[in-house]
Amino acid sequence: MNEKIAYLEDSGAKFLPPSNMRALELANAAFQQMKAAILPKALGDFYLAYGGAILGDACVFPVEDTMRPGRNYELPGIVKINRDMTRFQVLRGKTVWGRNQIYIFSADVAGNLYMHDVLTLQVLRKYEDFYAALTDCLLVGKI
């Protein structure tokens, strides 16, 4: 297991069951129709291994709508989330993949990852490393 994933699990993160290649292909086709970014390789690999993640109020959205473990409500899939986000100009051409109470996380067509302020959607940080973005997404949700 990836040591960074193990660290997140030790911190309380719950990882969802893996997605599959067909679900990723369908999601990417939907993103292309929306003029959003297809999933970068690192995020696609994450979904094939873990399917999504939850820690407190933070989550990496699952590929498909999924019942939240231990709760009685559904986590919306990444396609549904991005259909809702297309109305925001600053997020056009990006795919939102995670959120917590303070930040939204996205990817662009070049595979770059970003942290946005949840209220203004202004880009606050650009990431070179998927696991750094994943850690910021989930651990801030634990606060």
Least confident of 26-40, 73-87, 112-126: 73-87
Helices (H), 3-73: 3-10, 21-34, 41-49
Confidence of residue 67 (pLDDT cuts 50, 70, 90): confident
pLDDT score recorded for residue 65: 81
| Antiparallel, parallel or unpaired: β 103-108 and 53-55 | unpaired
The length of the chain, given as a count of residues: 143
Which residue bears the tokens 């993640």?
53
Confidence of residue 54 (pLDDT cuts 50, 70, 90): very high
| pLDDT reading at 140 higher than 90 | no
pTM metric for this prediction: 0.91
- CATH top class, domain 3-140: alpha beta
Task: Return mean pLDDT, the chain.
Answer: 91
Exposed e or buried b for every residue in 87-118, given b needs 16+ CB within 10 A? eeeebeebbbbbbbebbbbbbbeeebbbbbee
Cβ contacts of 1 within 8 Å, gap of 6 or more:
none
The residue-averaged pLDDT of 76-89 equals 92
Confidence of residue 24 (pLDDT cuts 50, 70, 90): very high
pLDDT score recorded for residue 143: 47
pLDDT score recorded for residue 73: 72
Percent of the chain with pLDDT over 70: 94
Cβ contacts of 21 within 8 Å, gap of 6 or more:
48
Cβ contacts of 9 within 8 Å, gap of 6 or more:
15
pLDDT score recorded for residue 23: 96
pLDDT score recorded for residue 66: 80
